[in-house]
Amino acid sequence: MNSAGHSEATAPRGLELTPFRGLRYDPDRVGSLAAVTSPPYDVVVRPDGLHHLQDADPYNIVRLILPQAGTAAARNEQAAATLRRWLSEGVLAADPEPALYVYEQRHSDGVLQRGVIGALRVSEPSAGVVLPHEDVMPHVVADRAALMRATHANLEPLLLTYRGDGAAAEVVDRSTERPPLLSTATEDGYHHRLWSITDPTEVARVQAGLSPHQALIADGHHRWATYRRLRAEHGSPSPWDHGLVLLVDTARYPLRVRAIHRLLHGLPVADALSRVEGLFRVRRLPGPLPEALDALADAACAGNAFLLGGDGAFHLLDRPDPALLARTVPADRPAAWRSLDATVLHMTLLAHVWHVPDDDPSRIAYIHDTAATVEKAQRDGATAVLLHPVREDVVRDLARQGVTMPRKSTSFGPKPASGLVLRALDL
């Protein structure tokens, strides 16, 4: 059941996906399509990664999604001016007619993901149509909203999942038998292809196939919250009634679920360990990182477990004191939520043991890359907290109950590359 009390099969006014005129790079105006793409904005967290993308091509999408001027207002105006210039120069051009877009990511290690990109009607969580599973940080929503207001565009698609295995997925798969609009390979080993669906009959089949279903937000909670804010600001009807998304049917194309790790600024590993003494079992692991992560996975099968790094070694925390959990974890939530590693990390360790606010960027950073988290902790004298990923079925079940997990609890992937198709709200 969802938070509105409806089953997925009978949710009223389910997923409503609309074609749009996509903005796409002219391949003759850029170095390569791969060189203008970027991971989603919240994955580009290291300055060296940002600079690498900026240097890859003067038209890299990161100049729109992460502008680098001084103040927030200046950054947003810079992005808006850059978008206007690229449109006037023909670097970006709108497709001639509205379309839904089939997007495929394929990797040599066997990963294959396909989905459909379109403009999805924005709804509130109470409608039970698009289900969030994580809390958001208000300052991030405000930042993304200001950028979207300035550019009047959805610059990158959210990643949503549903479980259908029906008509929509069949149209998606048939579309890949045609020559693609674009094909490119990025340095992470993924091959990306994009097709358009413009035939009214095929569009209607996709829409009908999606309409009975709910979607889970896999990646993009802050951007979905931003869509909701901007829709409320502008009223209906308006172009802000819809937002750019990629919908993947995980009954046919399962996603990978990884953890997002924490970097605790101003908290050396020695201090973090001294504060948990007597509250968790602590074991020192010499490493290397892959072996330490294997030990974390084994411990996580038996209960809450965390791996601390940043001092040249690794420290496994597990077997938390039950009395500590009883004092710090709210009792009015489902058992599955109370037992999450992310719940114990945020409610117990961050809030009561280490006293680190989980929404203060000067005290905590959220990093997807495991090795990068440890390396930065070692450079900065900070503490890396590594987590084991939670299963997708747990995430989906909690979301259907209307229960959100602590922010940045999961990382679904592969994530769509930014820069392959954009949506301008005035087209």
192-235: pLDDT as tens digits: 999 999 999 999 999 999 999 999 999 999 999 999 999 999 98
Q: Which of 2-11, 44-53, 295-304, 305-314 has the lowest mean pLDDT?
A: 2-11
State the Cα–Cα distance between residues 380 and 114, nearest whole angstrom: 40
Place of tokens 């099969």: 9
Higher pLDDT pick, 154 / 257 = 154
State the Cα–Cα distance between residues 74 and 95, nearest whole angstrom: 30
281 strand-pairing partners: 318
Q: Is the pLDDT of residue 73 over 60?
A: yes
Higher pLDDT pick, 315 / 187 = 315
Per-residue pLDDT, averaged over 381-402, amounts to 90
State the Cα–Cα distance between residues 103 and 91, nearest whole angstrom: 21
State the Cα–Cα distance between residues 411 and 304, nearest whole angstrom: 19
Three-state secondary-structure class, residue 304: coil
Q: Is the pLDDT of residue 11 over 70?
A: no
Residue 69 pLDDT level (bands cut at 50, 70, 90): confident
State the Cα–Cα distance between residues 43 and 63, nearest whole angstrom: 15
**The pLDDT value given to residue 47:** 53
Task: Name which of 425, 410, 417, 427 is nearest 117 in CA terms.
Answer: 417
**The pLDDT value given to residue 54:** 83
Per-residue pLDDT, averaged over 307-313, amounts to 97
- Provide the percentage of residues in the chain whose pLDDT is more than 90: 77
Q: Is the pLDDT of residue 142 over 90?
A: yes
Q: Omega of the bond prior to 416 within 30 degrees of 0, cis?
A: no
**The pLDDT value given to residue 8:** 40
Q: Is the pLDDT of residue 411 over 90?
A: no
State the Cα–Cα distance between residues 247 and 365, nearest whole angstrom: 28
Tokens describing residue 225: 């919250």
Q: Which of 11-20, 32-41, 143-152, 222-231 has the lowest mean pLDDT?
A: 11-20
- How many other CB atoms sit within 10 Å of the CB of residue 100? 26
Q: What is the dihedral of CA 41, 43, 49, 53, to 10 degrees?
A: -40
Higher pLDDT pick, 377 / 188 = 377
Residue ranges of domains in the chain: 8-257+413-424, 260-388
**The pLDDT value given to residue 280:** 98
Q: For 247-306, how does the pLDDT look when each residue is reduced to its tens digit (9 = 90+)?
A: 999 999 988 888 999 999 999 999 999 999 999 999 999 879 999 999 999 999 999 999
Taken in order 144, 145, 146, 152, is the CA torsion positive or negative?
Answer: positive
**The pLDDT value given to residue 350:** 98
**The pLDDT value given to residue 48:** 63
DSSP state letter for 346: I
Average pLDDT score, the chain:
92
Host H or E run for residue 210: helix 200-210
Residue type for position 323: A
The answer to whether residues 103 and 114 touch, using CB atoms and an 8 Å cutoff, is yes
Q: Is the pLDDT of residue 345 over 90?
A: yes
Tokens describing residue 223: 């951007």
Q: Is the pLDDT of residue 245 over 80?
A: yes
**The pLDDT value given to residue 9:** 39
Prediction pTM value: 0.81
